[in-house]
Structure 1
Amino acid sequence: MHLNEKVIVITGGGQGLGRAMALFLAEKGATPVLIDMNSQALEETVRLCHEKGVQARAYIANIADEAAVEEVFGNIVRDLGAIHGLINNAGITRDAMFIKAKDGEVSKRMSLEQWQQVINVNLTGVFLCGREAATKMIEGGNEGVIINISSISRAGNMGQSNYSAAKAGVVALTTTWGKELARYGIRTGAIAPGFIATEMVMSMKPEALDKMAASIPAKRLGEPSEIASAVAFILENDYFTGRVIEVDGGLRL
């Protein structure tokens, strides 16, 4: 896919990795379309995209709400004519141990609310947005690409039963959709980042950051632009589909 003037939807596009993706794709002439719940962050990302000389749009929507997802994707097609790409980037964490016990006494368990909140956004939201994007691509008669952002934690990470399950799930969706959607000219891909230097991560204490970096074979955190460049690779390489790219500096949990 040539990215010039292509409409690329990015969930969680207001900040962090989503903003980095939007700006990277803007430099290639794409039209970033940002979905987020944070209106202030959305406005800032749109402004930064405009500074790069491209059109950008922002929409506020809860991606875990089916009706909201259907409405926002309908509005995007109405406003811009088509959808050529979707990056399912939005995600949350609600970390907790599955079970905490001492001397045979269970003191704490991951709550159903902690489980469900993460599954709703990180897995159901991916399903809903992916389904709607594919629908609009097929109805519009245009080929497209759906990219799901997974995580190194998909292999299983202590304190993240909910997050790990969701991020493993989106890789399974990627493979399944790659097989099902190829007949319609729709490709899929997933990216599994390791520890990336987003604003949230960099707000940690310096000693914690140093310890984190020391555990990575590359001896540093990844840059948001390095995840964005992997996104661009999947979008631009027409023979890539149904697979996951690991961008983790060689780290294995």
Structure 2
Amino acid sequence: MEVTNKVIAITGGASGLGYAMAQRLGKQGAILALLDRNAVTLDDAVSELTEQGINAHGFPLDVSDEQSVITAFADIAARLGPVEGCINNAGITDDALLIKAQDGVVTKRMSLAAWKRVIDVNLTGIFLCGREAASHMMESGKGGVIVNISSISRAGNMGQSNYAAAKAGVHALTVTWAKELAKYGIRTGSVAPGFIVTPMTAAMRPDMQEKLASGIPLKQFGQADNIAQSVAFIMENDYFTGRMIECDGGLRM
């Protein structure tokens, strides 16, 4: 799909990886619908992108709330036209071990609230936004592309039962939707980032950053634009569907 003049929705688009995707696709001529829960951050991102000559618009959204998602996508269609690209990027972490024990006694467990918070945003949110985007794409008759952001943690990662389960589910949705939606001219894809330079990784102690980077074959963290490049590839390659790009410097082989 040629992204020029196509309406592309990006959840979590006001910062981090989502903002990098917005920059790359915006410079290629896409019309951007940035979706984010933080209205102030959203307004700032739209202003910054507009100053760069990018056609960007903000839409407040809680991806875990069904009505919020329905309303946001209806607003996009009314203001910009139906989406032809949707990048499900919004996500959170709430890490904890399943259980902690001392002297044969369980002292702490991952709470149900922590489990639900992550599943609601990272998995249910992708289901809701993907469903709404697919509905608009089908009814417009134009088809489109849905890209879901997974993670190398989908294979299982200590202290991340909730996050790993959600990110594994994300790719399962990608494969399922590829099979279901192809007849409507809709393609899907997943991107699984490894360690990427973000405010979160930047806040780590230098020695911790060094230790993590040493375990990566390329010996460095990736840049946010590396993930944006992967997303753009899926958008533009008309024979790519139901598959995943692992952009992790070779960390998971």
TM-score, normalised with respect to structure 1 = 0.98
Measured in 2, the distance between the counterparts of 1:112 and 1:65 equals 19
RMSD of aligned Cα (Å): 1.0
Match of 1:107 in 2: 107
Q: Which residue of 2 aligns with 1:252?
A: 252
- d(CA) in 1 for partners of 2:107, 2:120: 26
Q: CA deviation at 1:218?
A: 0.6
Secondary structure at the aligned position of 2:159 is classed as coil
- Name the structure 1 match of 2:146: 146
The one-letter code sitting in structure 1 at the alignment partner of 2:157 is N
Aligned residue for 1:25, secondary structure, equals helix
Equivalent residue runs for 1:52-71 within 5 Å: 52-71=52-71
Query: Partner of 2:182 in structure 1?
Result: 182
**Identity of paired residues, percent?**
58
Distance in 1, Cα, partners of 2:47 & 2:217:
37
Q: What CA distance in whole angstroms lies between the structure 1 residues aligned with 2:4 and 2:84?
A: 11
TM-score by length of structure 2 reads 0.98
- SS of residue matched to 1:23: helix
Provide, for residues 70-118 of structure 1, a one-character-per-residue CA deviation record: whole Å limited to 9, x for no partner: 0110110011112110000000000000011122100110000000000
Q: Which runs of 5+ in 1 are unaligned?
A: none
1:5 equivalenced with 2:5 (yes/no): yes
Q: Secondary structure of the equivalent of 2:146?
A: strand
Structure 2: which 5+ residue stretches go unaligned? none
Q: Output the CA distance in 2 between the equivalents of 1:48 and 1:106.
A: 49
**Pairs within 5 Å for 1:1-253:** 1-252=1-252
4+ runs deviating over 6 angstroms: none
Q: Deviations over 1:168-217 (max 9, x none)?
A: 00000000000000000000000000000012211211111111111111
Shift of 1:51: 2.5
Aligned residue pairs: how many? 253
